[in-house]
């Protein structure tokens, strides 16, 4: 019991800075959905069922523009393809969990929880610790996201413009990079990935994110291998 509490407390502690931004990020999505005329219940339930802010905002905007459901769903899937990369990194550890834990933690796996879990698992290989760490981090992050979504949907256009809540989206993903940059190859991967994503921002929604991810991974992998081999 003590080890379980310790693992969950560590997960909460590590995710806490990100959870402070999760509420405003949820507020952005909720307000966007309300302003586009999405009904309250579907807009709120989307944060429970999809649990992926960037794709939810893209879906709302595409629906508002009259896109077909095929285009809307395909766009959301493209944006969320990054979770395949997280899954590949976490799968060796997740295989040691029971099916209930795998599906439950998979549902809670946001960008923030995934990145922190990958880093923590490398330091703590005990599966009992790992699953409770991820559970603590995941739950602590999604609760303010759900609360922010609900507030944004209910307030909608009543949110004062001077609040400038749009800052939450770029701030969230910028902060996400910090704990992952622990070496020169990772720094190079982050810089190249960001540069490619910005350079291809004119491409259809989400494609630039995947291109940036692929470019960053490729550069980071090459540099890491060269570092291991040496001159």
Per-residue pLDDT of the chain (231 residues; tens, 9 = 90+): 688 999 999 999 999 988 888 888 888 889 888 888 889 999 999 999 988 887 888 888 888 888 888 888 887 887 787 788 788 889 999 999 999 999 999 999 998 899 899 989 999 999 999 999 999 999 999 999 999 999 989 887 666 555 555 555 555 555 555 555 566 766 777 777 778 877 876 765 556 666 777 777 777 777 766 655 444
Q: Is the pTM of this model over 0.85?
A: no
C-alpha torsion angle, residues 147, 150, 156, 159 (rounded to 10): -20
Task: Identify the pLDDT of residue 86.
Answer: 83
Phi-psi region of 203 (alpha: psi -120 to 50; beta: other; left: phi over 0): beta
Task: Identify the pLDDT of residue 112.
Answer: 87
Cα distance from N-terminal residue to C-terminal residue, the chain:
49
């Amino acid at each position: 019991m003590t080890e379980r509490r310790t693992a969950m407390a560590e997960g909460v502690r590590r995710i806490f800075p990100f959870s402070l931004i999760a509420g405003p990020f949820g507020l952005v999505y909720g307000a966007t959905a309300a302003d586009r005329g999405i009904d309250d219940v579907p807009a709120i339930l989307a944060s429970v069922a999809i649990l992926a802010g960037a794709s939810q905002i893209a879906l709302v905007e595409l629906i508002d523009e009259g896109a077909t459901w095929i285009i809307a769903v395909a766009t959301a899937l493209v944006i969320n393809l990054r979770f395949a990369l997280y899954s590949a990194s976490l799968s060796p550890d997740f295989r040691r969990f029971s099916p209930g834990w795998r599906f439950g933690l998979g549902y809670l796996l946001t960008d923030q929880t995934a990145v922190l879990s990958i880093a923590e698992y490398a330091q703590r290989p005990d599966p009992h610790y790992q699953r409770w760490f991820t559970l603590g981090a995941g739950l602590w992050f999604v609760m303010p996201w759900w609360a922010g979504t609900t507030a944004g949907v209910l307030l909608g256009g009543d949110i004062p413009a001077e609040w400038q809540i749009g800052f939450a989206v770029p701030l969230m993903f910028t902060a996400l990079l910090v704990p992952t940059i622990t070496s020169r190859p990772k720094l190079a991967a982050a810089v190249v990935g960001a540069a490619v994503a910005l350079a291809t921002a004119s491409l259809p929604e989400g494609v630039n994110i995947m291109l940036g991810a692929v470019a960053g991974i490729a550069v980071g992998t090459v540099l890491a291998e060269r570092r291991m081999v040496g001159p």
